[in-house]
Chain A
Amino acid sequence: MKQSVDNSRRDFLAKTAIAGTITIASGVLLHQTANAKSLNETSTRNPHTPVSNINRWGLLIDTNKCGKSCSACVDACNTENGLAGRTGPQDTQYIRKVTLRDKSTGHELSLPLMCQHCESAPCVDVCPVNASFIRADGIALVDRHLCIGCRYCMMACPYKARSFVHEELHNQKTSDPRGIGTVEACNMCVTRVDAGKIPACVEACSADNHKAMMFGDLNDPESGISVELKKHGGKQIRADLALNTGVHYQGLNE
């Protein structure tokens, strides 16, 4: 009897120990995963905390790493947002590949160009109905329920980042509801960001092994993007306009 009690106690202890180890180990594991995510810095806001100006989302693009003939980011963007990917003069393009040739040296480079998510955005300044706005976390958006389609923002944008929907749309993505007669642009994949994911273009660029695009929080000095900007610097396009863009580039002439 005693033996059996002892046995059962031993059994119990052993089982508890195993269970405990598993629990602790998995806890540690989870913890490590979480840590790795924040170090990797492609992480986003916790989906359960509200949008606030604690974050300022931005992109850093290294033109040296950007593949000249690669269009992974453009394709990913089209798929993510349900864009047809046509390139006629009336077609929407949220992101495009631009080839640059230095006029003095002849040096060629290639980069993706999209809405630069300015802090002092000209589109927001000119929009008569407040349809263009900058979200608290720095993402420039168009409220398609308000936009009257005047296209003043398109005239004002220094990056030609916006498109006007010229035609009736079909098969839209729920993540990016669009509307005929209104203006649209890169929204930094706001639904993905809100779900704790990174923008589709950045993901595609990494998946393609170029790693030319980086997404992160410019307000957080520890974030990968901030650390990289601090270490190697970065340039804003048309910095002379002092718009404080959320998108930065490396490898461009001063």
Chain B
Amino acid sequence: MSKIEYTSLQGKSPAYFVLLGVLGLFTFTGILAAWYMEHNGHHVTGMTNQIVWGTPHIFAIFLIVAASGALNVASIASVFSKKIYEPMARLSALLAIALLAGGLVVLLLDLGRPDRLIVAMTHYNFTSVFAWNIILYSGFFTFCGLYLWTMMDHNVHQYKKYAGFSAFVWRLILTTGTGSIFGFLVARSAYETAIMAPMFVIMSFSYGLAIFILVLMATYKASQMELGDVVILRLRNLLGVFVAAVLYFTFVYHLTNIYDADRRDFERFILLDGGIYTTVFWIGDIIIGGLIPLLLIYLPSIKKNRTVLGWICGMIILGGLSQVYVIVIGGQAFPLEIFPGYDVSSSFYDGIVNSYTPSLPEILLGSSGIAITLLIVVFMLKVLRFMPNSLADNVIDPHYSVK
């Protein structure tokens, strides 16, 4: 590999400012929505005492999970010494930080009392998985930041490997932690299973890489820099492996649930007669998010088609959001089993499938997480040098010939 030169976005074109403006507007609407929700109380949302976590959580969890996966490229470069990924490590770490920030802002703004952030910072309950997650998130920012520093500053270059390794280990713990938020909910049929944590790790690989590829292709196209097939084909293959792995884990998760007599009803609900949840599961999660991308990735005739790859990534993201939707909302919609062996009814909606219709403010708040992420990325790309001048095939691998 020839020596890689890094560059920043020029960021002087009107298009750049339009993009910043649009992202800024989305972010602003999200914050406005949060203010509206806080001012009026959560009664302006579709969330209830039955569905206590809603759309903001879908986006927040998706982004936080994807954050750890976006670091993949950097990890493969530094931990597994795969040279071809190295030039992209900076972008990968930046995206990871931005995704986590986007997710956390949404999570925070959805709190009943976001003004009590200081309380959250100063009162720690060490048995709470949530509190561990706060430590995990801060650690993730720190490690990714250090890692970026060692990559960008030649004086500390020799520590790059250690920083990369720490960030790698940390991000595995982080996603395990996110998965455990659900795994620790002892009473809910959907969640209390150990497979939740590894499943989240593998989901993160897939979502994170899909977002990374999209950002990479978009930036190189917009700044008219070269992005060769070598890199793209590698990433594409890797994505295929991850998508297959997510499908496999989803399969195992549901299979173990079916084996467990206590959870069989829940499985029937998600897989067969859960209405919207069943539809979203099969169409969104499995078909759009899994099978079609997998098919397209391995279809040789469109191997080099970037537009198709863009679509594939988009579908994986959509599938990911669907998967989180089914886990978060579907898991709550299914009635909590308080009295096994009895049919129950009450004024508090016991024993029935809870319904949930998100309101506009929560959708605006949730989706603003994506805008915040992209805003950070677009802005930082201009401020610091994250992108290799060229990712053309001969730069990446002079001996490589694309067949």
Contact = CB atoms under 8 A, between A and B. Distances in A.
Q: Is B one of A's binding partners? A: yes
Interface of A: 87, 89-93, 96-104, 113, 122, 124-131, 146-152, 154-160, 162-168, 180-183, 237-238, 241, 252-253
A151 B187 contact: no
B223 interface: no
B155 interface: no
Contact of A146 (B114, B119, B346, B354): B119
B41 A158 contact: no
Contacts of B345: 98-99
Name, among A99, A124, A253, the residue most crowded by chain B CB atoms within 10 Å (CB to CB). A99
Interface string B103-117: 000000001111011
A181 B341 contact: no
A129 B120 contact: yes
A155 B331 CA distance: 10
A141 to B, nearest CB: 14
Name, among A100, A147, A159, A168, the residue most crowded by chain B CB atoms within 10 Å (CB to CB). A100
Contact of A241 (B114, B124, B187, B343): B187
Contacts of A148: 111-114, 116-117, 119-120
A103 B343 CA distance: 6
Interface stretch (B42-50, B156-164, B201-209, B371-379): B42-50
A90 B49 contact: yes
B342 A160 contact: no
Closest 10 CB pairs of A and B: A149-B112, A181-B112, A158-B187, A89-B48, A128-B130, A166-B43, A129-B123, A100-B342, A151-B52, A128-B131
Given A89-B49, A90-B42, A101-B342, 16 more contacts: A89-B349, A89-B354, A96-B348, A98-B345, A98-B348, A99-B345, A100-B344, A126-B129, A155-B52, A158-B186, A163-B49, A166-B41, A181-B38, A181-B111, A181-B113, A253-B342
A87 B123 contact: no
A96 B347 contact: yes
Interface of B: 38, 40-43, 47-50, 52-53, 111-114, 116-117, 119-120, 123-125, 127-131, 134, 181, 184-188, 332, 336, 338-339, 341-350, 354
Contacts, number: 172
Interface class of chain A by DSSP: loop
A91 B49 contact: yes
A157 B344 contact: no
Contact of A160 (B125, B128, B350): B350
Interface class of chain B by DSSP: loop
A207 B65 CA distance: 55
A238 B348 CA distance: 18
B338 A130 contact: no
Contacts of A156: 184-187
A149 B129 contact: no
A92 B49 contact: yes
A6 to B, nearest CB: 78
B49 A182 contact: no
A148 B205 CA distance: 31
Given A128-B120, A183-B112, A154 B52 contact: yes
Contacts of A98: 338-339, 344-346, 348, 350
A122 to B, nearest CB: 6
A122 B53 contact: no
B113 A127 contact: no
A158 B337 CA distance: 8
A128 B48 contact: no
Given A103-B341, A128-B128, A155 B188 contact: yes
B397 to A, nearest CB: 47
Name, among B38, B130, B339, the residue most crowded by chain A CB atoms within 10 Å (CB to CB). B339
A129 B125 contact: yes
Contacts of A125: 127-128, 184
B125 A127 contact: yes
Contact of B184 (A126, A157, A162): A126
